[in-house]
Amino acid sequence: MNTTLWVITGVLALIFLAAGLMKISQPREKLAASGMAWTADFSPGVVKTVGAVEVLGAVGLIVPAALGIAPTLTAWAAFGLAATMLGATALHLRRKETTALPVALLLLLLATVVAWGRFGPHAF
């Protein structure tokens, strides 16, 4: 199970790192035009903050456990990303963006599994 959690953690880290860097590095208008319509409803600062949260969460999933320094932060990063995806799910439901829901729900589920595993039976 530890290997499975590491694989899920690595996949989540890559996805959130890429998504976060995209939100940080691209203008809100370009993000909205590329399919992230929700960004048009928020200020550029909020979009960049969401991106920063995703990047920090991705780093938090890997670095503490890999270095053995405060590895419980990995579980907290997974919990934080699950909370982020819970918010994203609510946003997509409110906006009736049904095509974005499966991805948001899958990321929510995976982050929850990592949080459960690292807080519980497979903690470091």
Give the SS3 label for residue 124: coil
Q: What is the domain count for the chain? A: 1
What SS3 string covers 2-56?
A: HHHHHHHHHHHHHHHHHHHHHHHHCCHHHHHHCCCHHHHHCCHHHHHHHHHHHHH
Average pLDDT over residues 90-118: 95
In-domain check, residue 68: yes
In-domain check, residue 124: no
Cα–Cα distance for residue pair 63/90, rounded to 1 Å: 29
pTM of the complete model: 0.92
Cα–Cα distance for residue pair 13/10, rounded to 1 Å: 5
Residue-wise pLDDT for 83-102, tens only, equals 999 999 999 999 999 999 99
In-domain check, residue 83: yes
Q: What is the domain extent for residue 62?
A: 2-119
Average pLDDT over residues 7-14: 98
In-domain check, residue 80: yes
In-domain check, residue 96: yes
pLDDT in the model for residue 121: 86
Residue 34 corresponds to which tokens in the numbers above? 């590329």
Cα–Cα distance for residue pair 50/73, rounded to 1 Å: 19
Residue-wise pLDDT for 41-52, tens only, equals 999 999 999 999
